[in-house]
Structure formats: C-alpha cells, structure tokens
Amino acid sequence: MSPAPDPARVRDDRGSAVVDFVLVSVLLVTLFLGVVQLGVVLHVRNTLVAAAAEGARYGANADRGPDDAADRTRELAAQSLGEGLVQEVSAGFEDVGGSRTVVVEVRARLPLVGLLGPGSTLVVRGHAWDEGLR
C-alpha cells in the first residue's frame, strides 16, 4: 500500500472553475463585441454608399442638378443613420470614360464603439450618368 499523501502538499482545486469561466468569458465577450462592431461599420458604409448612389441618380435626372443630388443624399443618410454621422456631402459633375456623370461624395464619421464614441472618417462616392442637356 502507498502511504497517505501529506495534507500540506495536496493541491486544492476549489475555485479553479470560476477562474476558467472568467478567462473564457472575457475572450468570448471581446470576440462577440468585435463581430458586432464589424457589423455596425459595414451597415454604416453600405447605407452611405446606397444614399450616395441614390442621390447621384436623383441629381442626374433631366430636370435636376448636383445641388439636388447633395440634398437628396443628406436626406436619405439622415433618415437611415441619424443626423450626427454625416459630416459633409458634396456633388458635382465628372467625366468618366467620355460620359458626363453626376458624382456625390459623402464624408461621415465612422463610429468605433457602436454608434457612439470616437471615430474615424469614411468617404464614399456615388455616380450616375447625367441625363440633362446642359
């Protein structure tokens, strides 16, 4: 028979499950928040691209111009994302492959913590063939 272990040398494993849970939970929560943040960034970018493209199409109509395109883009972006994200909307004409197009450029604050907090600047553009005879 083997001798009984010395009680002073026996390691107590009580409480180790709590530590394991905390370590794994921190990792999973960080990963989850990163995926959510990526979803927010993609949503903001895609919404701004759609607003810029729709604004350019609106401004390219025969009876409209770049100012109308910028106003329509601002309106669509504000409806979808709120007033605080869009910093600047500019519109004008640009030649692409010999064709005159209306181009709309949107500069917006890209939020780095959900829709709040500090952020960087995102620039998107939308184009549409000009239908007017100017």
- For strand 86-96 and strand 99-113, is the pairing parallel, antiparallel, or unpaired? antiparallel
> CA-to-CA distance for 96 and 56, rounded, in angstroms?
14
pLDDT tens for each residue of 9-68: 556 666 678 888 999 999 999 999 888 888 888 998 999 999 999 999 999 988 888 999
DSSP class of residue 133 equals -
Buried b (16+ CB within 10 A) or exposed e, 24-40: eeeeeeeeeeeeeeeee
* pLDDT score of 34: 86
63-102 pLDDT, tens digit per residue, is 888 999 999 999 999 999 888 888 899 999 998 888 899 9
Degrees (nearest 5) of the Cα angle 39, 33, 76? 30
Dist CA 45 CA 117 (whole Å): 17
Dmax of the chain from CA atoms? Answer: 104
Q: Model-level pTM?
A: 0.77
> Tens digit of pLDDT for each residue in 9-22?
556 666 678 888 99
